[in-house]
Amino acid sequence: MSDQLTDKFGRDITYLRLSVTDRCDLRCTYCMAENMTFLPRKDLLSFEELDFLCDAFIARGVRKIRLTGGEPLVRKGLLPFIEKLSRHLKTDRLDEITLTTNATQLAKFADELVHTGVERINISLDSLDREVFARLSRRDALGQVLSGIEAGLKAGLKIKINTVALKNGNAKDIPDIMRWAHSLSMDMTLIEVMPMGEIAQDRFDQYIPLSEVRENLDDQFTLVDTPYRTGGPARYVQVNETGGRLGFITPLTNNFCAGCNRVRVTCTGQIYMCLGQDDRVDLRAAIRSKTPQEALYAALNKAMISKPEAHDFKIRKPGDAPAVARHMSVTGG
Ligand code: SAM
Ligand code: SF4
């Protein structure tokens, strides 16, 4: 039997998104409630356990690991963990270690990240207007984020900007963010807001289909479809006026599950096979059992069976309940 992790629809799992913390220094309105109860530290996997877990995934065919959260850079000790994990890059067992971050702490860590072998990162940024940023993230941190991005670029990191499109939040700001990102040679990707977790606002008031955003952009720019792919769900266009690339991730309007190659593991070691599904398998129990190797192997096999063919996110009318109860910050975006 091949050790490659493959689900029942024949999709090979080669990409692990690993959440290292559920904590964050921002409170983006589409992601979290203002008053979140974070997990007790003892529930989190230790760095030794995370390393053990990564090793097991790599042995079973994972080639790319993305660290996420919550905000990964707020977890103390993350850089030494990445440094250790990077042994797999040197031995060619892994193609890439990367990160999704809000960049608030990046000025502190950019050089060290590059030193550990991280080459590309995704940074989430929803507005370049200080007030809009503060309203959307509930923190006045735009200056800190922009310093982080500057430091990242200076350190030589390749940066992609991710922006969640929000109808009453930042839809108007998108052309400005794109011009700015492209002027600094950063790609940008737009994301449709997904109905995950109870938040203070109605998702219906946040949701704007990216088809609508694209129509607005088409009025101002020449967007040319390209076959460019990064192995993820984004579909890209080239923007003639800026010379940059713009991606669209459309979980609601254009389901992309057929080519899914990823799984997500939370900071407590729960593996979710799909963002839009509540089924999970407890890898922490396996790791903390008497026979961790064998138990983890079996737990991963069990997880493969439960991966659904597709998710079914919908935001149809005001007051619709979330598709899944957990917040994005729990699963790791
Ligand atoms: N804190 C880091 C950051 O913001 O980049 C990493 C974790 S965050 C949960 C990962 C990504 O998920 C971010 O790009 C964020 O915008 C996105 N996200 C969070 N909640 C979302 C939602 N309900 N729908 C769509 N994207 C969401
Ligand atoms: Fe924090 Fe990222 Fe969620 Fe914003 S999207 S609250 S930065 S975890």
Query: Quick one: which atom of ligand 2 is closest to the CA of 32?
Result: 6
Q: Ligand 1: distance of its center to the CA of 100 in Å?
A: 9
Amino acid at 28: C
The answer to whether residue 3 sits within a structural domain is no
Q: pTM score > 0.85 for this model?
A: yes
Task: Quote the DSSP letter at residue 169.
Answer: T
Q: Ligand 2: distance of its center to the CA of 301 in Å?
A: 31
Amino acid at 253: T
Token pair in block for residue 168: 């009453």
The overall average pLDDT reported for the chain is 90
Of 142, 125, 136, the residue nearest 178 (C-alpha):
125
> CA 260 to CA 231: how far, in whole Å?
9
Q: Percent of the chain, pLDDT > 90?
A: 70
Query: Quick one: which atom of ligand 2 is closest to the CA of 69?
Result: 8
The answer to whether residue 180 sits within a structural domain is yes
Q: Which ligand is nearest to the CA of 72?
A: 1
Ligand 2 pocket list (CB less than 6 A): 24, 26-28, 31-32, 69-71, 102, 124, 329
**pLDDT per position as a tens digit, 253-271:** 666 677 788 899 999 999 9
Number of H helices and number of E strands within the chain?
12, 12
Average pLDDT over residues 226-248: 92
Asked if residue 84 lies in contact with residue 35, where contact means CB atoms within 8 angstroms, the answer is no
CATH code of 159's domain? 3.20.20.70
Token pair in block for residue 122: 């995704």
**pLDDT per position as a tens digit, 9-65:** 888 999 999 999 999 999 999 888 888 888 998 899 999 999 999 999 999 999 999
**pLDDT per position as a tens digit, 94-131:** 999 999 999 999 999 999 999 999 999 999 999 999 99
Q: Ligand 1: distance of its center to the CA of 154 in Å?
A: 24
Q: Ligand 1: distance of its center to the CA of 29 in Å?
A: 10
**pLDDT per position as a tens digit, 289-310:** 999 999 999 999 999 988 777 6
> CA 325 to CA 162: how far, in whole Å?
23
- pLDDT for residue 74 is more than 60: yes
The answer to whether residue 5 sits within a structural domain is no
Ligand 1 pocket list (CB less than 6 A): 24, 30-31, 68-69, 71, 100-102, 124, 162, 164, 191, 193-194, 196, 328-329, 333
β-pairing verdict for 262-265 and 244-249: unpaired
- pLDDT for residue 1 is more than 60: no
Asked if residue 16 lies in contact with residue 266, where contact means CB atoms within 8 angstroms, the answer is no
The residues near 80 (Cβ < 8 Å, ≥ 6 apart) are: 47
* Residue to probe by mutation, ligand 1, list 38, 100, 126, 315, most atoms within 8 Å of CB: 100
The answer to whether residue 265 sits within a structural domain is yes
The answer to whether residue 4 sits within a structural domain is no
Count structural domains, the chain. 1
Question: Can you give 140-151 as a three-state secondary structure string?
Answer: CCHHHHHHHHHH
Query: Quick one: which atom of ligand 1 is closest to the CA of 331?
Result: 9
Q: Which ligand is nearest to the CA of 162?
A: 1
Phi and psi for 236 in degrees, rounded to 5?
A: -110, 150
Position 316 scores a pLDDT of: 61
The answer to whether residue 10 sits within a structural domain is no
Token pair in block for residue 196: 């995950």
Q: Ligand 2: distance of its center to the CA of 293 in Å?
A: 33
The answer to whether residue 321 sits within a structural domain is yes
Position 294 scores a pLDDT of: 97
CA distances 67 to 16, 97, 264, Å, are: 8, 8, 10
The answer to whether residue 258 sits within a structural domain is yes
Query: Quick one: which atom of ligand 1 is closest to the CA of 203?
Result: 23
Query: Quick one: which atom of ligand 1 is closest to the CA of 194?
Result: 24
Q: Ligand 1: distance of its center to the CA of 328 in Å?
A: 6
User: Domain limits at 32?
Assistant: 15-331
The residues near 3 (Cβ < 8 Å, ≥ 6 apart) are: 59, 60, 61
pLDDT band at 196 (very low <50, low <70, confident <90, very high): low
Of 315, 283, 94, 62, the residue nearest 204 (C-alpha):
315
> CA 112 to CA 102: how far, in whole Å?
17
